[in-house]
């Protein structure tokens, strides 16, 4: 089949590669404009654009798809994208972490002339965790299960009918980085399964999402990353893993922000009766033990400003030899 593909990050590029490997023809790629990144702040192409260039796939990079934008340049780009989508011959549209809102008139193009519509890979078991950060929010909230949903898109925020859902267990040491990689593979396989079914004339049955259990995964803000040691060890552990690799959980030690990258709940019985929350109460064989509002957290990996990620014991050795108590706190 001929596919129009819209996506931006590596999560999307993995699906794009799988679609190409399955023998479908991607006839147009939509991706966000190049962004400045890295130490030199040079313009960088998205992973989707990089793959499209490699495969000589035509590329569109509008800053908006809204033809009623108040910005004349964005309005012109949206109009050009609309005209190209209207003119091109394709069977189905696939959208994966594109980052731009698709207005109804774009979705309508994907339904014209016996086309099969627009399908989206969403990294959660809908309707739980609609929105921008489903992977991080699932870990942050201590969910035991997650998955991917292939959804027939409508104009709402992840509200479309689902056509395929695959579930996986979230491991106790899962980070957003590791879960992202597993879900990217799962989503790529799932969208190929749906596209192959359509191409082979097998029926797919869209299923309305449940009206109960709806959760919204708001965008992750850097301000959320500061650790509140009044929380339980379980809650803090979930947040550290959820914010790895971005933005990285952090706490203040003697005026220095320290990043926390990996942790687990300590098997220590009870808590130190004399310790304050955020206080280093000792070391295990593998990490640093820190008192929380409830329970003890075993921190395994830390990072000082300008340094590398290292074992928490090595990171805190100098501080632990001081005569005063070592205590982390919010700024």
Output the tens digit of pLDDT for each of the chain's 331 residues.
Answer: 999 999 999 999 999 999 999 999 999 999 999 998 777 778 899 999 999 999 999 999 999 999 999 999 999 999 999 999 999 999 999 999 999 999 999 999 999 988 999 999 999 999 999 999 999 999 999 999 999 999 999 999 999 999 999 999 999 999 999 999 999 999 999 999 999 999 999 989 999 999 999 999 999 999 999 999 999 999 999 999 999 999 999 999 988 999 999 999 998 755 556 789 999 999 999 999 999 999 999 999 999 999 999 999 999 986 766 546 788 988 7
Same-domain status, 64 and 212: yes
Domain CATH for 292 = 3.10.25.10
Same-domain status, 231 and 162: no
Q: Is residue 326 part of a domain?
A: no
Domain CATH for 193 = 3.40.50.170
Same-domain status, 84 and 194: yes
E runs forming strands in the chain: 2-7, 25-30, 35-37, 42-44, 59-60, 92-96, 118-122, 130-131, 145-152, 162-169, 216-217, 249-253, 256-265, 280-283, 288-291, 296-303, 310-311
Give the domain-ending residue among 173, 194, 217. 217
Distance CA 312, CA 76 (A): 53
Domain housing 47: 2-217
Does the predicted model carry a pTM greater than 0.85?
Answer: yes
Q: Is residue 301 part of a domain?
A: yes
259 torsion bin: left (phi>0), alpha (psi -120 to 50), beta (else): beta
Same-domain status, 145 and 277: no
């Amino acid at each position: 089949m001929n596919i129009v593909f819209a996506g931006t990050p590596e999560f999307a590029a993995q699906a794009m590669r799988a679609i190409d490997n399955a023998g479908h023809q991607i006839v147009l790629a939509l991706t966000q404009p190049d962004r400045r990144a890295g130490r030199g702040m040079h313009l960088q192409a998205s992973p989707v654009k990089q793959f499209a260039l490699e495969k000589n796939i035509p590329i569109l990079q509008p800053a908006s798809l809204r033809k009623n934008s108040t910005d004349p340049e964005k309005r012109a780009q949206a109009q050009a994208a609309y005209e190209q989508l209207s003119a091109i011959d394709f069977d189905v549209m696939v959208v994966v972490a594109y980052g731009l809102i698709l207005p109804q008139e774009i979705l309508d193009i994907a339904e014209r002339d016996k086309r099969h519509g627009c399908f989206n890979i969403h990294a959660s078991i809908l309707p739980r965790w609609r929105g921008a950060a489903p992977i991080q929010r699932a870990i942050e909230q201590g969910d035991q299960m997650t998955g991917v949903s292939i959804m027939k898109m409508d104009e709402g925020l992840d509200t479309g009918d689902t056509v395929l859902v695959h579930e996986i267990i979230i491991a106790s040491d899962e980070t957003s980085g590791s879960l992202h990689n597993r879900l990217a593979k799962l989503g790529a396989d799932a969208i190929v399964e749906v596209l192959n079914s359509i191409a082979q004339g097998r029926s797919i049955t869209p299923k309305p999402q449940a009206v109960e259990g709806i959760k919204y995964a708001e965008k992750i803000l850097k301000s959320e990353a500061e650790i509140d040691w009044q929380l339980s060890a379980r809650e803090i552990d979930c947040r550290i893993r959820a914010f790895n690799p971005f933005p990285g959980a952090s706490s203040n030690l003697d005026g220095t922000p320290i990043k926390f990258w990996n942790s687990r709940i300590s098997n220590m019985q009870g808590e130190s009766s004399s310790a304050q929350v955020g206080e280093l109460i000792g070391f295990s064989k593998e990490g640093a033990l820190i008192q929380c509002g409830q329970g003890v957290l075993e921190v395994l990996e830390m990072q000082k400003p300008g340094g590398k990620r290292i074992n928490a014991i090595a990171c805190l050795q100098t501080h632990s030899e001081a005569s005063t108590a070592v205590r982390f706190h919010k700024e």
